[in-house]
Structure 1
Amino acid sequence: MLKKINLGLVALVLGFGLIATQSAFTTNRATTFWAYQPNQDNNLRDYSKYMHTSEPSAQCTDDNAPLPCVIEVPETVTTQSDLQAFLAGKTDNEILALSAQRTPEQ
């Protein structure tokens, strides 16, 4: 009976070891950026109002205006159609939460 318990304990330790080694090699999720181009309607969910950019703009300000400057999205969102699918169903507040930087309303 003691051998059955030891075998179970060894299997449990190996299982935890496998989990620990797999999680040690996971990478952080990479992101990409889309710059919002404000216009008269200021529809934050209109994917065509965003331009793909390699990094946040230095011109963005950190005030709490109601518009995003640059939103940060998963790296897989690289085309306008990807962005359209990503923004589908999101509220303005959810989109604003993707942007740490805001631009004044125009």
Structure 2
Amino acid sequence: MIKNQPIWINRGGASRSLTKNFSVAFSRNKAANTMLKNINIGLAALVLGFGLTITTSAFKNAPKNRADVQWNFLGTSTGQANDQTKYSMSAPSPTECGSDDQLPCYILTPESVDTQAELHDYFVSTYGDSAPAIDAAAAARRAAQ
């Protein structure tokens, strides 16, 4: 047998060269291999992208827990609930909280609200300076004096 000579086979009346069959099969495999490589590269990029996303989001700063400020209500009627002068951060509530449901006992505000002027601004921006809305937002209630 001579090297690089095609071997002819006869299959069902049609003769073909084995080298031709091999080259067709090899070219199909080459295309399949290229496609598999492209898919593998795409999957690797996807996994890398998810990994980077998870890594960067895992190290973000958590929001700081802010403490609420308790403003004790010193007024004598619910109509005074929007009057910032009827609240104090230092004075205790006139009666024990939870003893009744007639008046607000205290209201909680963000820690940045630490003056009566800021309390007024908070009432206006949060509740529209509405005494019933502020009264309803009270964290606890107490009996009237």
Displaced runs of 4 or more, over 6 A: none
Q: Answer yes or no: is 1:38 the counterpart of 2:75.
A: yes
Distance in structure 1 (CA, Å) of the matches to 2:55 and 2:82: 44
Cα contact 1:35–1:50 (8 A) shared by 2: yes
Match in the other structure for 2:137: 97
The residue correspondences of 1:63-102 to structure 2 (distance < 5 A) are: 63-88=99-124, 89=128, 91=130, 92-99=132-139, 101-102=140-141
Match in the other structure for 1:11: 49
- Deviation, 1:50, is 0.9
- Deviation, 1:53, is 3.1
TM-score (norm 1): 0.71
Q: 1:13 to 1:48 in 2, by over 3 A?
A: same
Deviations 1:50-94 (A, max 9, x none): 11239x759532144132112111101011121111111154245
TM-score (norm 2): 0.56
Aligned-residue sequence identity (percent) comes to 24
Distance in structure 1 (CA, Å) of the matches to 2:133 and 2:93: 21
Higher helix share: 2
Cα contact 1:67–1:102 (8 A) shared by 2: yes
Q: What is the SS of the residue equivalent to 1:53?
A: coil
Bigger relative contact order (CA 8 A; separation at least 6): 1
Q: Which amino acid aligns with 1:26?
A: P
Q: 1:9 to 1:57 in 2, by over 3 A?
A: farther
Q: Which amino acid aligns with 1:87?
A: F
2:88 to 47, 51, 63: 51
